[in-house]
Amino acid sequence: MNRMEEYRSLQAELERPPAQLEGTVRRAQARQRREARRRRAWWTSCGTAAAAFALFVVLVNVSSPFAAACESIPILKDLAAAVSFSHSLSSAVDHGYVQSIGQSRSIGGVTVDLDYMMLDGGQAVFFGRVTAPEGVEHCQLVPEIRDASGNELLGYALMSSTVTPGTLSTLFTIAITPEEFAFPEVLDITCAVELRWAQEGNAPAPAHTAHGQEDDPHSPKPDATVEFELYVDDWLLQQGRSIPVEQWFEVDGNRFYIASLELYPTFAKFELAADGNNRETLQTLDYYLEDERGNRYERGSASGLLAMGDSYWFESPYFQQPEHLTLHITSASWMEKGRERARIDLETGQALTPLPEGILPTVGRENSSIAVGLTAPLGRDSTENHHAHYQLFGGHYYAPDGTAFEITRLSSYSGVPVWDEAYEQREALYDTHFTQTICLEDWAWDTVEIELYFSRRAEYPQPLSLRLF
Amino acid sequence: MHEEEYVRRAEAAKARLYRTSLLYLGGEAAAVDAVDEAVYRGLRACRKLRQEAYFDTWLTRILINVCNAELRRRKRELAMEQLPETAAEEFDALPLKDAIRRLPQQLREVVVLRYFTGLTLAETARTLGVPPGTVSTRQRRALALLRLELSEED
């Protein structure tokens, strides 16, 4: 064969591409999605979280009858859509229990519109929208509150989750402990906005930090910071009523007492007092309440907060005014004495002491940061669009020499971490599990001891029922 | 360039890219891996491509970078395969496919892009970032070493 014949033969050979080439573009798209997840997961793991134990709960649920009822109230129509996932907030909107704020602040291409507030004696829920430059996929608001003189306030938790630019959303919630928290007459709210870009590399350097943020090298600087000033109406803070219960009951051999229920326009709660002789500590409780008409009031609240201290939150029957309410307990998690901590090997990512059943350890590194996480099955009431996370970590972690560190940042996200070396083996868990991580900075040891939130979870297929009134 | 358009054009270009990478790297699996990598890198960067007319040369450039990186990696592991231009007898003794792979890099790039990837002289010059005259010269030297008498139409 001469060179020209060879040339034509080679041309013919090259015209027969292998079958594997078929999936090239599909593989590139899948890899890009995995990378995006990894970046988000890492960012979420080691970025600035809004508050300790913030829960990022994804809810999509359209209440059609309610939305239809709001057709004639144009100003509240979009808010009705924004709160349709929450029975309490939907009822509050339905009854006109909304304060219009109508404040807007812009800086460096980012606009925060603070449109509405729902405020009562137990929490304040803020609604609005963030407008961001093209290419921004999500915005994370990190709010801070002070009084008009700049003094810090005590006895509250702030919760926020990512919002989609341009969409009216719940921006953040202030949950308060009424005994400790006093609403100032004027509330100063500072919102740091962190932008998350759809494409890596599109993000310009943050150029607009209006207020001198502390130079914390471990915290990403916000892309914009805006301030709002709100006058708080005393009348709203007085809304709510208490209903006496005064009953003892027993779960898994442990005894509890409920003194009363507190019903507010935007949420409701009851306090559980534990018998000092209980062999286990109750950590979480899954439950719902039911009135005499069969209406269910689910646990939790619009902000994702399930409980504060010994108070357990549920969707409010405030506007329904039921004659009777029955508590149905469906599952609980318990902490057994002596099993509060678990040691994790940061080199291998393995747990050196037992973890609760079904919980997997995970470890990832990037530069001087180590993300230590726990992966667990999604809560049983999860759906495709509603991923129920629950708390896995306790409040501290410890160095091998016994030094205790407080967990001040905790991230929770659906899926398993793509940055974990075990990802390939765990990929099948991506849609059924969630992961919570803490971030260790400049950690000098090769193990860490983490505090666990529970040692076992118990399901009650036949709910334990207690008529409260 | 929007991602949807990129996906459409990458689908159309992948066979051509494969021809290029196969001649660069030799093995079928390595060639597919290189195309995968180039298409992925292109997907990540496609929004930065302002002039869609340059899609083919832009993506080919990405692929060549991927192939060169792989060749550099191999060079660290294996003895260098390239032959000097003075080794005319060795080139004659090799099958055409191997002879192309053992051309000096600058000559190999030109012959692969011109006669196997199907780029015009101007596109080859743009892809390689050299003047068209330089492409012409390298093309002539490469064809002489390979004992190929190819016209513009071949």
Domain boundaries, chain B: 1-80, 83-154
Residue B75 binned pLDDT confidence (cut-offs 50, 70, 90):
low
Which contiguous run of DSSP H or E holds residue A358?
Answer: none
Query: What is the fold, at CATH topology level, of the domain defined by A99-237?
Result: Immunoglobulin-like (2.60.40)
> What is the identity of the amino acid at A314?
F
Residue of chain A whose Cα is closest to the Cα of B22: A14
Three-state DSSP class for residue B44: helix
Residue B94 binned pLDDT confidence (cut-offs 50, 70, 90):
confident
The verdict on a CB contact (< 8 Å) between A25 and B11 is: yes
Q: What residues in B contact A134, CB-CB < 8 Å?
A: none
Query: Smallest Cβ distance to B97: which of A10, A24, A32?
Result: A10
Q: What residues in B contact A137, CB-CB < 8 Å?
A: none
Tell me how far apart the terminal alpha carbons of chain A are, to the nearest angstrom.
98
Q: In angstroms, rounded to a whole number, what is the distance separating the alpha carbons of residues B119 and A140? A: 47
Give the dihedral of Cα atoms A447, A450, A455, A460; nearest 10 deg.
Answer: -120
Q: What is the mean pLDDT of chain A?
A: 79
- Statement: residue B68 has pLDDT above 80: yes
Rg (CA), chain B: 16
Q: What residues in B contact A10, CB-CB < 8 Å?
A: 96-97, 116
Q: In angstroms, rounded to a whole number, what is the distance separating the alpha carbons of residues B43 and A25? A: 9
Give the dihedral of Cα atoms A415, A417, A421, A427; nearest 10 deg.
Answer: 20
Q: Please write the tens of the pLDDT for every residue from A345-397.
A: 999 999 999 999 999 999 988 777 888 999 999 887 777 767 777 888 888 89
> How is residue B97 written in tokens?
């496919």
Q: Sign (positive/negative) of CA torsion A39, A43, A45, A51? A: negative
CB-based burial, A36-72: b 16+ in 10 Å, e otherwise: bbbebbbbbbbbbbbbebbbbbbbeeebeebeeebee
Q: Please write the tens of the pLDDT for every residue from A229-263.
A: 888 877 777 788 899 999 999 999 999 999 999 99
B88 contact A CB<8A:
no
* Res A174: pLDDT: 85
Q: Please write the tens of the pLDDT for every residue from A55-92.
A: 332 222 222 222 222 232 333 456 666 777 677 777 87
CA separation, residue B152 to residues B54, B61, B118, B119, B121 (Å): 21, 22, 10, 11, 9
B35 contact A CB<8A:
yes
Three-state DSSP class for residue A54: coil
The verdict on a CB contact (< 8 Å) between B7 and A25 is: yes
Q: In angstroms, rounded to a whole number, what is the distance separating the alpha carbons of residues A311 and A323? A: 22
* Res B153: pLDDT: 57
Query: Smallest Cβ distance to B28: which of A10, A18, A35?
Result: A18
Residue A356 carries which DSSP code? Answer: P
Strand A186-197 to A136-147 pairing: antiparallel
* Res A25: pLDDT: 92
Q: Sign (positive/negative) of CA torsion A313, A327, A388, A453? A: positive
> Which of A155-159, B36-40, B53-57 comes out lowest in average pLDDT?
A155-159
Q: What residues in A contact B43, CB-CB < 8 Å?
A: 25, 28-29, 32
* Res A135: pLDDT: 86
Section B78-88 average pLDDT:
66
Q: What residues in A contact B108, CB-CB < 8 Å?
A: none
* Res A3: pLDDT: 79
More confident residue, A425 or B80: A425
Positions in chain A whose pLDDT score sits under 50: 40-76, 205-219
The verdict on a CB contact (< 8 Å) between B36 and A6 is: no
B8 contact A CB<8A:
no
User: What would the CATH number be for the domain defined by B1-80?
Assistant: 1.10.1740.10
- Statement: residue B59 has pLDDT above 60: yes
CA angle A312, A317, A322 (to 5 degrees): 120
- How large a percentage of chain B has pLDDT more than 90? 17
- Residues in A lying within 8 Å of B, measured between beta carbons: 3-4, 6-7, 10-11, 14-15, 17-18, 20-21, 24-25, 27-29, 31-32, 35, 199-202
* Res A464: pLDDT: 94
* Res A76: pLDDT: 47
* Res A268: pLDDT: 92
State phi, psi for B35 to the nearest 5 degrees: -65, -45
Query: What is the fold, at CATH topology level, of the domain defined by B83-154?
Result: Arc Repressor Mutant, subunit A (1.10.10)
